[in-house]
Amino acid sequence: MANGHAIAADALVPVDLTPVELLRIAVNQNASIDQLTKLMDLHERWERREAKKAYDAAMKSFKSDSPRISKNSRVNFTTNKGTTDYRHATLDHVCDQVIGALSRVGVSHRWKVAQNGEWITVTCILTHEAGHSEETSLRGCPDQTGNKNSIQAVGSTVTYLQRYTLLAATGLATSDSDDDGRGAPTIDAGLSEERTNQLGRAIANARTIDELKSSYFAAYREADKAKDGTAKQLFLRTKDARKRELQ
């Protein structure tokens, strides 16, 4: 009792005034439209920040126990240009290993595909259940190798880019080991996804033919040294498309 008035017990308990609580109080006190608008904006920014924090925590948990992805398929063929021989992880194999692990931390994935002239852009979108999303995009040209028709050429590139964007978005790389951990013959040590993307962007963004040649040959030599046949094919398609744009 103070000055003849009772003090409510909960008045002594600190209240965590989140934007939602502030908005409720403002409505009860007949706040102006301008005040309510500012509080709603504050609430939206707070929700986005909390969703980003939840996403970061989920990806940290994912990385702490991330799946090991082996190169489960071998490509071996000979043409008049020589022999191509390398191992890679197929898209379905990557998805089998990654999607379940992402789901366990509340993250889902999807792809967007767009085509502008020769260029095919694939974007992998990771979305946390709290609402935050992050995107990773790569682009390339239709894969004209082999005896593919036009639709198969596009499909081959889309599959390739889907695989690499999912790996890049999750920060994973494939290994040359079998799933059971036994060592497999090292046929293709390969470039990292990050390095492949960096070299590919340098080719795609070349401003002159001379710059294009320099970027392409540097990328090709690096991929050849790493015995990464897949990267060499990507660099070749990217170079040819950029050359057509510059001519």
| Alpha helices (H) in 2-138, listed in sequence order | 19-28, 33-64, 91-104
Top pLDDT among 11 and 103 is at 103
- 140 forms beta bridges with 120
pLDDT digits (tens, 9 = 90+) for 163-191: 888 988 888 877 654 333 333 323 334 67
- 76 forms beta bridges with 85
Range from 24-33, 102-111, 117-126 carrying the lowest mean pLDDT: 24-33
Query: pTM of the entire structure?
Result: 0.57
For residue 175, the model assigns a pLDDT of 62
For the residues 97-125, what does the mean pLDDT come to?
Answer: 91
Query: What is the helix (H) or strand (E) element at residue 141, kind and residue range?
Result: none
For residue 109, the model assigns a pLDDT of 94
For residue 146, the model assigns a pLDDT of 67
Q: Are 199 and 216 in contact (CB under 8 A)?
A: no
Distance separating the N- and C-terminal Cα atoms of the chain: 88
| Percentage, residues of the chain above pLDDT 70 | 72
For residue 186, the model assigns a pLDDT of 30
For residue 189, the model assigns a pLDDT of 44
pLDDT digits (tens, 9 = 90+) for 206-215: 889 989 989 8
49: Cβ contacts below 8 Å, ≥ 6 apart: none
Average pLDDT score over the chain: 77
CA distance 228 to 73: 14
For residue 180, the model assigns a pLDDT of 33
For the residues 115-133, what does the mean pLDDT come to?
Answer: 91
Q: How confident is the model at residue 46 (pLDDT cuts 50, 70, 90)?
A: confident
Q: What is the residue whose two structure tokens read 């990507």?
A: 234
Q: Are 205 and 169 in contact (CB under 8 A)?
A: no
CA distance 227 to 191: 8
Q: What is the residue whose two structure tokens read 């502030």?
A: 22
CA distance 57 to 126: 14
Whole-angstrom Cα Rg for the chain? 26
Range from 40-44, 98-102, 140-144, 221-225 carrying the lowest mean pLDDT: 40-44
For residue 108, the model assigns a pLDDT of 95
Top pLDDT among 246 and 112 is at 112
What angle is formed at CA 127 by the lines to CA 135 and CA 40, rounded to 5 degrees?
100
Number of Cβ within 10 Å of residue 162's Cβ equals 20
State the greatest distance between any 2 C-alpha atoms of the chain, in Å, as a whole number.
101
pLDDT at 55 over 70: yes
For the residues 192-221, what does the mean pLDDT come to?
Answer: 86
Amino acid at 83: T
Range from 8-22, 73-87, 107-121 carrying the lowest mean pLDDT: 8-22
Q: Are 220 and 183 in contact (CB under 8 A)?
A: no
Supply 11's token pair. Answer: 């008045």
Sign of CA dihedral 161, 166, 168, 172: negative
For residue 83, the model assigns a pLDDT of 62
For residue 28, the model assigns a pLDDT of 73
For residue 26, the model assigns a pLDDT of 66
